Structures are given as C-alpha cells and as structure tokens.
Amino acid sequence: MIPTHWPGTLEVVWRSLLASVRSYGVLAMQQVLNEVGQIAQRLAGVIWQVLQFIWNWSFGQVVKMFQMPFNNLSLWKQLLFVLVVGALAYFLYKIAKDLLKAVQSVLGAIVGLISALIAMLPQIVWAGLIAFGGAWAITNLNPMWVPIALR
C-alpha cells in the first residue's frame, strides 16, 4: 500500500497518516489535512530552494560572461562573444516575455478572487443579519401567544 519509491521521511508521514485515519476516524481528517498541508509546505520549500540555486548560478554565469575583457580577445573569440551576447539577449527577452505573461496571470487571478469576494458580500451580510436577528429574538422575545410548554 505504501509506494516503494518514496524516501524515508515521506514514508514515515504516510504511515502516520494511515495510522491516524485508522485510529481516530473523523477527528483524523483534520490531522490528515494538517499533514498534507505540511507536506505541501515542505515541497514548496524544496522547489523554492532549487529555483534559487538555478537562478543564482545562471545569473552568476551571465555576470561572469559580461566581465570578460572584450578588447583583449582574439577576433574569433570576439565573434563568439558577440554571438553569445546575442543568444543571451534572445533568452532574456523570452524570459521577460514569459515573466510578464505570468504576472498578468497572477494579477488576473487576484482580480478574479477579489471579484468573487465582492460578489459574495451580499450573501455574507444576509448571513450576518439572519444570525444577528436570530440571536436577538432568542434573547429578547418572550411572546405571550407561545404555549407555556414551549417557553
């Protein structure tokens, strides 16, 4: 039942998930969700560290390339340098274009979320008004027409 390709830490988490579901039933569902959230946080942390490493390494290589003394290079190396700078310019353009598209997607998602939240406001206000009215009626009303057995 436990996937054999999982590393030790994930296997321990998987075993604890199964044990908690078997032993606690409904209360275990909250623990399962908490543990799934922790796994997602760890995974996001690992992905972020890999992205940071790749970004720092790549940026370091680009900086190192531009620190080379262009005037002291032979003609074929200068041509290669110009070719590499052209390729870098192309890829930096693609990166900027993709980053702009990603930012637009994120902003669109944020606008969609805000729109959905604003659209829910009337329902939220109604729920609050109903709860307020119900609580007020329960604490303040004592009508005489209600039979004594129900008071």
9-44, pLDDT tens digit by residue?
666 666 776 666 555 555 667 787 788 889 999 999
- Read off the amino acid at residue 70: F
CA dihedral 140, 146, 150, 151 (to 10 degrees): 40
Per-residue model confidence (pLDDT) at position 125: 95
In this structure, the answer to whether residues 79 and 150 fall within a common structural domain is: yes
Per-residue model confidence (pLDDT) at position 106: 95
Question: Which of 16, 50, 67 represents a domain boundary (last residue)?
Answer: 67
The answer, yes or no, to whether residue 111 has pLDDT greater than 60, is yes
Question: Which of 67, 98, 120 represents a domain boundary (last residue)?
Answer: 67
In this structure, the answer to whether residues 62 and 83 fall within a common structural domain is: no
Q: How many domains does the chain have?
A: 2
Q: Which of 30-39, 102-111, 121-130 has the lowest mean pLDDT?
A: 30-39
Cβ count near 86 (within 10 Å) = 10
Pinpoint the alpha helices (H) of the chain.
8-24, 26-66, 75-140
Per-residue model confidence (pLDDT) at position 146: 78
Host domain of residue 102:
73-151
In this structure, the answer to whether residues 77 and 137 fall within a common structural domain is: yes
In this structure, the answer to whether residues 80 and 40 fall within a common structural domain is: no
In the chain the first and final C-alpha atoms are separated, in Å, by 57
Question: Which of 15, 49, 67 represents a domain boundary (last residue)?
Answer: 67
84: which residues sit within 8 A by CB, 6+ positions away? 65
In this structure, the answer to whether residues 44 and 116 fall within a common structural domain is: no
The answer, yes or no, to whether residue 7 has pLDDT greater than 70, is no
- Angle at which helix 26-66 crosses helix 75-140, to 10 degrees, equals 150
In this structure, the answer to whether residues 53 and 96 fall within a common structural domain is: no
- Read off the amino acid at residue 4: T
d(CA 108, CA 102): 10
2: which residues sit within 8 A by CB, 6+ positions away? 11, 14, 15
In this structure, the answer to whether residues 16 and 87 fall within a common structural domain is: no
Mean pLDDT along residues 62-77: 90
In this structure, the answer to whether residues 93 and 125 fall within a common structural domain is: yes
This prediction has a pTM of 0.52
